[in-house]
Amino acid sequence: MTAVRVVIAFFALALLGLQPVSSLAGPPFPAISDVSGTIRGGEARVRFTLRNAFPPEMVEALKSGIEITFKTNVEIERVYRRWFNRPMGQVLYTRSVRYDALSGVYRLHRDDGDELLPDVLAALDRMTRFEVVVPVTGDVEKGKPYRARVRTRLDKVGLSEPLRSIFFFSSLWDVETGWASGYLQTP
């Protein structure tokens, strides 16, 4: 029994020593802001801005040709004051950007089409300002409250194939926002 206790204590201390130091990393935390938009019959157009999503090392990585992909959840719901909100539609929107060293352009990939951007500032602007169309179900009543809820996370840092295998476990950066919401206008 003494041997078992000693072994357990040994592994407990080892696990304490293996606590991730990344948890000590500080802010700034990425966040979604300026959620707004309109909703009309069949669709909602949601605009929002992603802030603090690109720390300097991430920008440097982008310049080095590392592909960066964000996945964004957008949910539309009808808001009731004294009842549960009613979901009306949702969409998972993917946007990625990668620098093409040969062409010297930033290739922005969206669900609705690709775009070539001449510099990093334009690329960052495109990666942080969103306007997403969300198909909705149900009637949209004018003057009633409708709300969009948005959350974005870094999907994967795209590395070249050899490095992808080596850094399979390494996320390099953790970018994940909380849920942000904003009311939609009913024109």
Residue 143 in tokens: 């003057």
Q: Tell me the three state secondary structure of residue 113.
A: strand
Tell me the C-alpha to C-alpha distance, in Å, between residue 60 and each of 8, 64, 111, 126: 44, 6, 25, 17
Q: How far is the CB of 50 from other proteins (least distance, A)?
A: 22
Q: How far is the CB of 105 from other proteins (least distance, A)?
A: 8
Instruction: Identify the residue among 42, 55, 118, 135 touching other proteins (CB under 8 A).
Output: 118
Euclidean distance between the first and the last CA atom of the chain, given in angstroms as a whole number: 74
d(CA 151, CA 35): 11
Q: In what order do the strands lie in the sheet with 129-135?
A: 31-40, 43-51, 129-135
Q: Does 11 bind other proteins (CB under 8 A)?
A: yes
Considering only residues 25-84, where is the footprint of other proteins by CB under 8 A?
Answer: 57, 60-61, 63-66
Q: Give how many residues touch other proteins by CB under 8 A.
A: 37
Q: Does 18 bind other proteins (CB under 8 A)?
A: no
Q: Does 159 bind other proteins (CB under 8 A)?
A: yes
Q: How far is the CB of 24 from other proteins (least distance, A)?
A: 17
Mark the segment that binds other proteins (CB under 8 A) among 72-80, 88-96, 100-108, 137-145: 100-108
Instruction: Identify the residue among 94, 144, 163, 178 touching other proteins (CB under 8 A).
Output: 163
Give the CA radius of gyration of the chain.
Answer: 21
Helices (H), 99-153: 120-128
Residue 123 in tokens: 């690329």
Q: How far is the CB of 51 from other proteins (least distance, A)?
A: 23
Q: Which residues in this chain contact other proteins in the complex, by CB under 8 A?
A: 2-3, 6-7, 10-11, 57, 60-61, 63-66, 100-105, 114-118, 159-170, 172
